Amino acid sequence: MAMPTALEIARQATLKPIAEIAEDVGIPPWLTEQHGEHVAKIDLRAVEELQDRPKAKYVVVTAITPTPLGEGKTTTTIGLGMAFRHIGKKATIAIRQASMGPTFGIKGGAAGGGYSQAVPFELLNLHLTGDMHAVTAAHNQIAAMVDNSLYGGNPFDLDLNQITWKRVIDINDRSLRNIVIGLGAAGDGVPRQTGFDITAASEVMAVLALAKSLKDLRERLGRIVVGYTRQGEPVTAEQLQAAGAAAVMMREALKPNLLQTLENTPVFVHAGPFGNIAHGNSSVVADLIGIHTGDFLVTEAGFGADMGAERFFNIKCRTSGLTPDAAVVVATVRALKSHCGKYKVVAGRPLPEDMLKENPEDVAIGAANLRKQLENIRAHGVEPVVAINAMPGDFASERDAIREVAASMGVKSAVGTHFTDGGRGADEIAEAVAEVAARPSGFHFLYPAEASLREKIEALATKIYGADGVDYSPLASRQLDGYERNGFGGLPVCVAKTQYSLSHDASLKGAPTGWRLPVREVRASVGAGFVYPICGDMRTMPGLASKPAAMSIDLDENGDIVGLY
């Protein structure tokens, strides 16, 4: 008998009223703003009102370098959070909000999967409480004021070729990547070339994820750099008097959203910054509240440990002041086989036939990637646990090969069947995490804030990615010098690169050596608070596949959603 779809499983769940979920974790009614029966926003006063309560153990879930199919990181995060109840502990979960672009594209939703989901499924993947739309509106209001300033005589002497602030929309649409605006009559604006990014790539989204308060949000929006003058001086949203209106649009969006899992474990679903050019983590305010709501706070960081977890440590934790107690590295047999270099995995296509055969030797070869990602976690003084996300078609010998690699490094490992068995299927992972998190944390940042931007980039390249060094294009060198000169040198760095390799080249599998990191361009998200070097061709506006999920999503004769996954 085939397993029900995620949507079918979600509709069979018995959900508690969200007020009851909030009460279970000690959030009083006066801090809970209900959006229907099963979703609520939590008032920001909760950050202060819960501050005197004990702190939970803080656990980040990350992964080996993923394949295009994904390795079940969100599913594992939710399964682990639910599993703590089965071992007598109380946990809260924090994850990013889904972008509708990927939901209607090829990736699908971001609610977890199988019997390890956050619910309500439809609401989580479609609009939720409107935070994405608030980000879109605030970002585009700033863009409109940039162009209005140009139309009004360009009082800030913005260089039309150095305006960095595009527009955003929460759909996949490659045709909007490069456009010309201001065409038509003289009153229709100043003609110039620009484009659209997806909303998740907006700096306003990164600001939402990193702001600690409404005051902090307002100040970060003011620091956003929209472009540069002909003399190379930055022009900010504050100078344009655009930050105030943007903050007004974002006021309600800053309140984190509270949902629940299929087993009624509380889940904060808030903010969804891009995992490539931004830090790829859910919000700081959700964690500042969630850290006082139980024994464990389990959060997820985007992509592999070289990306999401590194940024969790060096950007998010630097901002929040919270200290992680343990890290979970999700690994799958199929991903480690992919990293042996013999197979090509393509999203939307079946796995290669030979990859489905029992072959622990391939797993052992590909496990070089696992070893490096475990080293990357320990480079920050945090102890990892390997969560082997079991999938149909795995062989016991292949899972044993992963366990042997973990054991050789003195790392605890556990197999999880949470996709099919829910929280009880992750009991073994929860036991291992609880044991590791009980030890004293040795957490530290990879680099000091006062290091130069080049020193920070080189620390990431050599210590985390395994490069021999960094090569800067002439443009990147000029940009780095300019950022240092303009006072941005104290910011952390967020390297924009492929998620499919430890390197900048998606074709380099495992743990490649003997290569150098090429930095072709460097941009600054001053409001969010990081500088991002660009290595390779990073798409900030995805396109739709030839058969996107949108083609099968519809309403049935009863008005219910079908085709969403």
For residue 497, the one-letter residue type is K
pLDDT for res 310: 98
Cα–Cα distance between 495 and 533 in angstroms, integer? Answer: 5
Cα–Cα distance between 403 and 98 in angstroms, integer? Answer: 32
Cα–Cα distance between 43 and 123 in angstroms, integer? Answer: 20
pLDDT for res 398: 97
List the domain boundaries for the chain: 6-129+253-437, 131-250, 453-534
Predicted confidence (pLDDT) at residue 106 exceeds the cutoff of 80: no
Residue scoring higher pLDDT (565 or 170): 170
Per DSSP, what are the bridge partners of residue 117?
112
Predicted confidence (pLDDT) at residue 108 exceeds the cutoff of 90: no
Predicted confidence (pLDDT) at residue 107 exceeds the cutoff of 80: no
* Consecutive H or E run containing 121: helix 121-125
Cα–Cα distance between 413 and 392 in angstroms, integer? Answer: 19
392-402 core/surface letters (b: 16 or more CB in 10 A; e: else): eebeeebbebb
Predicted confidence (pLDDT) at residue 344 exceeds the cutoff of 90: no
For 526-545, give the secondary structure using H, E and C.
CCCCEEEEECCCCCCCCCCC
Average pLDDT, the chain: 94
**CA 161 from chain center: how many Å?**
30
What is the pLDDT confidence band of residue 1, given thresholds at 50, 70 and 90? low
Q: What is the mean pLDDT of residues 52-74?
A: 93
* Residue carrying the six token digits 């996107």: 548
What is the pLDDT confidence band of residue 69, given thresholds at 50, 70 and 90? confident
pLDDT for res 345: 83
Which DSSP category does 255 fall into?
Answer: S
Share of the chain above pLDDT 90, in %: 83
Beta strands in 173-325 (DSSP E): 179-181, 192-194, 196-198, 225-229, 234-236, 257-261, 266-269, 296-300
C-alpha distances (whole Å) from 420 to each of 63, 122, 249, 338, 564 are 20, 20, 41, 23, 19
Q: In this structure, what are the phi and psi dihedrals at residue 260, rounded to the nearest 5 degrees?
A: -150, 165
Cα–Cα distance between 293 and 50 in angstroms, integer? Answer: 8
Q: What is the mean pLDDT of residues 553-565?
A: 85
C-alpha distances (whole Å) from 551 to each of 4, 99, 103, 105, 127 are 21, 17, 12, 9, 19
Cα–Cα distance between 418 and 441 in angstroms, integer? Answer: 27
pLDDT tens digit sequence for 472-530: 999 999 999 999 999 999 999 999 999 999 999 999 999 999 999 999 999 999 999 99
Residue 272 corresponds to which tokens in the numbers above? 């969804």
Cα–Cα distance between 254 and 36 in angstroms, integer? Answer: 19
| Beta-sheet pairing, 470-472 with 517-519 | parallel
Cα–Cα distance between 158 and 149 in angstroms, integer? Answer: 9
Classify the C-alpha dihedral 270-494-330-299 as positive or negative: negative
Domain 6-129+253-437, CATH 3.40.50.970 — does that match? no
Q: What is the mean pLDDT of residues 443-470?
A: 98
Cβ(339)–Cβ(64) under 8 Å? yes
Architecture category of domain 131-250 in CATH: 2-Layer Sandwich (3.30)
Q: Which CATH number fits domain 453-534: 3.30.590.10, 3.30.1330.10, 3.20.20.100, 3.10.410.10?
A: 3.10.410.10
Cα–Cα distance between 157 and 282 in angstroms, integer? Answer: 37
Cis amide bond preceding 120, omega within 30: yes
Q: In this structure, what are the phi and psi dihedrals at residue 159, rounded to the nearest 5 degrees?
A: -80, 120
Cα–Cα distance between 222 and 243 in angstroms, integer? Answer: 5
Q: What is the mean pLDDT of residues 444-473?
A: 98
Predicted confidence (pLDDT) at residue 63 exceeds the cutoff of 80: yes
Share of the chain above pLDDT 70, in %: 99
pLDDT for res 554: 87
Q: What is the mean pLDDT of residues 18-32?
A: 96
pLDDT tens digit sequence for 276-319: 889 999 999 999 999 999 999 999 998 999 999 999 999 999 99
* Residue carrying the six token digits 């609880």: 434
Q: What is the mean pLDDT of residues 219-229?
A: 97
543: exposed, middle or buried (Cβ count in 10 Å: 0-12, 13-18, 19+): middle
DSSP code per residue over 141-209: HHHHHHHHHHHTT-TT-EEEEEE---EEESS--GGGSSEEES-SSGGG---EEE-EEEGGG-HHHHHHH
* Residue carrying the six token digits 């660009």: 534
Cβ(275)–Cβ(63) under 8 Å? no
Cα–Cα distance between 187 and 469 in angstroms, integer? Answer: 51
